[in-house]
Amino acid sequence: MSGLKPEASPHTRENSATESSQFPPEDRPDEIWMEEALRCAQRALEAGEVPVGAVVVRNGQVVGRGWNRNITDSDPTAHAEVIALREAGATVGNHRLEHCELFVTIEPCAMCAGALTHARVKRLVYGSDDPKAGAVKSVLQVLNHPQLNHKIEVRSGVLAGRSAELLQSFFRSRR
């Protein structure tokens, strides 16, 4: 699938410290993949959707990407994470994504946290917290709930300012 290659985007910012070519794919820092997720969020913004983007990475390669498509698809479940997980499942040929990491620009909601658990994703990296709907720590603690067997390693706050900025510009433009 051609869409799986990192894309050049006019919105890419100069940032030589995290230039992806400096790192072998499996050693790329989280910020590189978060840049990819931010590019996905930008696609949502351009489509008039809430700008959230996600990528699924396996062995240093993007195997799924998604951005919010709720309005476009008239689909209440079309969150960036769900779309990225669906694409990853199809790419990998397995509904279990045990060796995968998911990078998303904001804290996942309860639905997406549930989907991450069902998918057995190994690690979640997200940008800004979502004080309204976050289900990792902010509102609910669905992910890594003590009564769930599957535990997911979590890192938050990666390029958080950038994702918050995107969301703010979206909500400002709608006022």
Torsion sign (Cα): 70, 34, 103, 144:
negative
Site string for Zn ion, 111-130 (x = CB under 5 A): xx------------------
Considering only the stretches 24-32, 54-62, 72-80, 86-94, report the one whose residues sit in contact with Zn ion under the rule CB under 5 A. Answer: 72-80
What is the C-alpha to C-alpha distance for residues 89 and 43, in angstroms, rounded to an integer?
Answer: 22
We find the least distance from the C-beta atom of residue 80 to Zn ion, in angstroms, to be: 7
Contact 155, 123 (CB under 8 A): yes
Beta strand segments in the chain, E: 53-58, 61-67, 100-106, 123-128, 153-155
Give the one residue of 45, 56, 100, 109 binding Zn ion; rule: CB under 5 A.
109
Task: Candidates 20-28, 97-105, 109-117, 151-159: pick the segment binding Zn ion (CB under 5 A).
Answer: 109-117
Identify the CA nearest to 168 among candidates 1, 41, 2, 27.
41
- Identified catalytic residue from 81, 87, 101, 107: 81
Known active-site residue 98: no
- Report the catalytic residues: 81
Interface ranges with Zn ion (CB under 5 A)? 79, 109, 111-112
